[in-house]
Amino acid sequence: MSAISGEKPKISVGDRLPEDLYFGALNEGEVEPRKVTVKEVFGGKNVVMFGIPGAFTSVCSSKHLPQYYDRYEKLKQKGVDIVACTAVNDPYVLREWARNHNTADKILMLADGDATFHSALSLIQRLPFAGIRNYRYSMYVSDCVVKIFNLEEPGALSYKVSGPDRMLQDLERLQKEGK
């Protein structure tokens, strides 16, 4: 349940996401995944992205994804343009998971199947019976700059700070501070 490298994450509030990193995206009706860069997803937009250890897993399926879906309109009211979910899964798995939960109309699925994005940010952990996965977290990114970053403890079950209610509180605080 520990981080692979033992390093602390290489991303924090105020940092710019590396714009040349990429995800795989596969929307309903598409046959092949397409490459989307960080710049395409986050450039000029306000994005809430939450990272999960894996699609079709317990906390991810019962709480994390459904709660973000349920709070989607509240997030939009706070000025969020895109709500995205990412995992070290392939695009086909994330598409099927979104289909299974009927969330594809609101949540953008960003696959990091080869762990390129999460490795660059040192957000990788090794989980028993699951292998290499990313940490559970949430972040608010405005034009590629991280404004909020909530990282859970290592492991698959920790779910205390990365949910949408905490994100909404943090967005409210940012608005009050004028940031």
**144 is annotated as an active-site residue:** no
- The CA distance from 140 to 80, in Å, is 9
Catalytic member of 60, 65, 88, 108: 60
Query: Which is nearest to 148 in space by CA: 136, 162, 131?
Result: 162
How far apart CA 98 and CA 169 sit, in angstroms, is 26
The Cα 85–Cα 77 span in angstroms is 19
Report d(CA 104, CA 69) in Å as an integer.
9
Give the dihedral sign, CA 17/126/6/64. positive
Residues that are catalytic:
60
